[in-house]
Amino acid sequence: MQSIKLYFLILVIFFVSGCQDTIYETFMANAPVYLSYEDLRQSVKKTEVRELINPGKIYFKDNLIFINEAMKGVHIFDVSNPADPQNKGFIEIPGNVDIAIRENMLYADSYVDLVVIDISNISNISEKARMKDVFPYLVPEYDNKYPMAEVDEKKGVVTEWEIRKVKQEIESRVYPVYYYKGTLERMMDYASNGASAGGSGSTVGVGGSMARFGLYKNLLYIVDEGSLYKFNIGNLSSPTDLGKQSIGWDIETMFIYNDHMFLGTRTGMLIYNLEVASTPSYVNRFSHITSCDPVVVQNDLAYVTLRGGTVCGSNTNRLDVVRLSNNYTKLDLLATYPMTGPYGLGIDDDVLFVCDGDAGLKVYNASDPLTIDKHKLAQFPGINTYDVIPMNNYLFMIGKDGFYLYNYSDLQNIRQISTIPVVKATN
């Protein structure tokens, strides 16, 4: 009898709960604006010349400079005559942050996908391959004065937000702040790097110090905040996904040098050995206070800029010089130099270039790592600088206000010889 009563009680509860009306609430929120997956995957194409509006990262290959237009695609400039760069057009790649180039294949992120683009004829580029859903689903930053409405990943990628009224089930899960909030913007803060010198006719290109892409042998490496994505590009037009590898937390930049991978993180520099390229192995760590952190390496020295601020943690702004010895198993801080708000940097023989934010571009003779501050060769103030590529006595620099090109063949007379300005968007 008791079992029959219990059965009927459960049955009543089931029907009562099933008959409840769904409760909705209406509120002002950040409502997602979607780009469908179908449109995303049919969008790569060459278009006419565009003006720089929101430049991101730079990459050099065979007398061409590729300048990322943040989340939109890539500008192509011919710098065969450095004093007169020629705009050769624009490649639309929605959701693009980084690129790397081997031979005539350009590898680019496009939101959740990796795309391979044949640039052997820059007037007639073509998409050769696309690896779908290899990267995490990320959303842009939103106006934190309003909550974030529910995101439906099935509808496509989120390209922006609209502040408007939304109607949503109270029981529905509103995406919390930690749901990749702002990761797209953080990825845009740190630029791509090349694996080796990329002069005219070279196999691979070369990028700046703010790395998330890197090339090594037949592998393409891509790093996000906690994972290393690995692709075999032995067949250049048809990569093979080798999976991802956990490498730590708050990873920001990648620099490949001397068969090793140097990762800049918010709390230090990590070093991985690439002897087994498909599975990089941890070697050592140089720790520092919390800050944003790109790194470049030459011979047995690593140059690391630390930038403070709201996102980066502390208020420390400096340049660290670290001695690397015993096959990178011993790391010693040699010197520290105060900076204003440094971002990217580059090293060419004894010449060190530092993008010191609002303080502009600074150039040093770094032959003595203990006295770098006493040997400043030049400073170009009044430019909000971001990253640089030194190449064959020419320096390519990207900043908030545009692209700058310098000739440093005469270190006593380093000259800006051309610029491509940003065009301010009008309302």
Would you kindly state where each structural domain of the chain is located, as residue ranges? 42-137+182-421
Backbone angles phi, psi at 303, to 5 degrees: -110, 125
Fold observed for domain 42-137+182-421:
Methylamine Dehydrogenase; Chain H (2.130.10)
Run of H or E including 7: helix 2-18
Give me Rg for the CA atoms of the chain.
24
Backbone angles phi, psi at 378, to 5 degrees: -165, 160
pLDDT, one tens digit for every residue, the chain (427 residues) = 545 544 444 444 444 444 456 788 898 999 999 999 999 999 999 999 999 999 999 999 999 999 999 999 999 999 999 999 999 999 999 999 999 999 999 999 999 999 999 999 999 999 999 999 999 998 988 999 999 999 999 999 999 999 999 988 775 444 443 344 444 554 555 333 333 333 444 689 998 998 799 999 999 999 998 899 999 999 999 999 999 999 988 898 999 999 999 999 888 899 999 999 999 999 999 987 666 779 999 999 999 999 987 666 678 899 999 999 999 999 999 999 999 999 999 999 999 999 999 999 999 999 999 999 999 999 999 999 999 999 999 999 999 999 999 999 999 999 999 999 999 765 5
pTM, two decimals, is: 0.88
Q: What single DSSP character describes residue 358?
A: G
| 58: nearest Cα among 181, 213, 162 | 213
Distance CA 357, CA 241 (A): 37
Backbone angles phi, psi at 146, to 5 degrees: -130, 150
Distance CA 289, CA 283 (A): 20
Distance CA 283, CA 280 (A): 9
